[in-house]
Amino acid sequence: MMVLVVEDACTQLAEEGWRQREPARHHPRRRRRWLAEGRQLEGKAVRVRELAVQCLDSPE
């Protein structure tokens, strides 16, 4: 469970850093790369949430 807490914290920090680096709209290539990175971060956040639900639902 502690690993999930650390993973969640790291994911949240990465998402915060990602938001702060949003490129200007007149840089379409940079913006596409930034959006792709955001999708990857969201996928990781979803996986961490799914693992947390599994851990909390499973009997020990």
- Host domain of residue 36: 2-21+29-57
Q: What is the pLDDT of residues 6-18, one digit of tens each?
A: 999 999 999 999 9
Q: Got the DSSP string for 1-60? A: -HHHHHHHHHHHHHHHHHHHTPPPTT-HHHHHHHHHHHHHHHHHHHHHHHHHHHHHHS--
Q: Name which of 18, 2, 8 is nearest 46 in CA terms.
A: 8
pLDDT at position 60 over 70: no
Split into its structural domains, the chain has a count of 1
- Neighbouring CB atoms inside 10 A of 24's CB total 8
Q: What is the pLDDT of residues 34-47, one digit of tens each?
A: 999 999 999 999 99
